[in-house]
Chains A and B, each alone.
Chain A
């Protein structure tokens, strides 16, 4: 069978291999957790019911805090790694590519810190 020229297969390098593996492991976890989260909030709770008060009540249970922390870190890192691949595929000029990757890294740092901060420190 002819090898496809543009398709990425299992990478050999160390970082790329771990990124590839992380994407797949987190994919299986997120497929369950993220779809559950959306259906729980929109089908179970109903989006009209969502308010500061509801989230505060939900976060009284540490299990939900851990759940949300998992979604935040796994979801964001999975997405950011995907965007990194997309940048490498489509942003060809070296300067722009570097700028896009630095921007993505800063956004990753900022959002994970913001999200983790509120999950850990929130008091009703």
Chain B
């Protein structure tokens, strides 16, 4: 119970756009970081003969992994990138901090406008 109330308090602390944006930024950042670890190691395999690198790439070509890329990595990376730009604007443009919440809403609209069509194309490619 204590755990549940702790999580609930963490999720609802101050709440609203600012905290949702903050939580999503951390989760997506950690996710991209995790993928990057894997990605650097798999790229390093280029030093070995072609079949070593290509046998690992079979993993990337798997159906489930493509879904993970579209709904995990791409979603996370794009959100993190756009929210990061919002943070830079809030930090460096005088007076922008007051508009962090509407800026986040605008950012979500831009995110959807970019993500939905490109993700749809990526999905269509899989079929």
Alpha-carbon distance A38/B32, docked complex (angstroms):
12
User: Given A52-B46, A52-B54, A79-B33, are A31 and B82 neighbors across the interface (CB < 8 Å)?
Assistant: yes
Whether a CB of chain A sits under 8 angstroms from the CB of B44 is yes
Please determine whether B43 and A115 come into contact, CB atoms closer than 8 angstroms. Answer: yes
Task: Please judge, given known A-B contacts A38-B73, A51-B57, whether A111 and B85 are in contact too, CB under 8 Å.
Answer: no
Interface residues on A, range: 35 or more
Q: How large is the interface on B (under 10, 10 to 19, 20 to 34, 35 or more residues)?
A: 35 or more
A10-B91, A31-B82, A38-B74 are contacts. A53–B121 as well, Cβ < 8 Å? no
Residues of A within 8 A of B47 (CB): 117-118, 121-122
With a 10 A CB-CB cut-off, give which of A10, A42, A43, A59 has the most chain B CB atoms. Answer: A42
- A55-75 near B? 1/0 per residue, CB < 8 Å: 110010000000010001001
Contacts A51-B50, A76-B36, A86-B30 supplied; 11 other A-B pairs, CB < 8 Å: A28-B85, A31-B82, A35-B77, A35-B81, A38-B77, A42-B122, A52-B50, A115-B40, A118-B46, A121-B47, A122-B47
Q: Which residues of B are interface residues toward A (Cβ below 8 A)?
A: 14, 26, 29-30, 32-33, 36-37, 40-41, 43-44, 46-47, 50-51, 53-54, 57, 60-61, 66, 69, 73-74, 77-78, 81-82, 84-85, 87-88, 91-92, 118, 121-122, 125
Closest 3 CB pairs of A and B: A31-B81, A52-B50, A52-B53
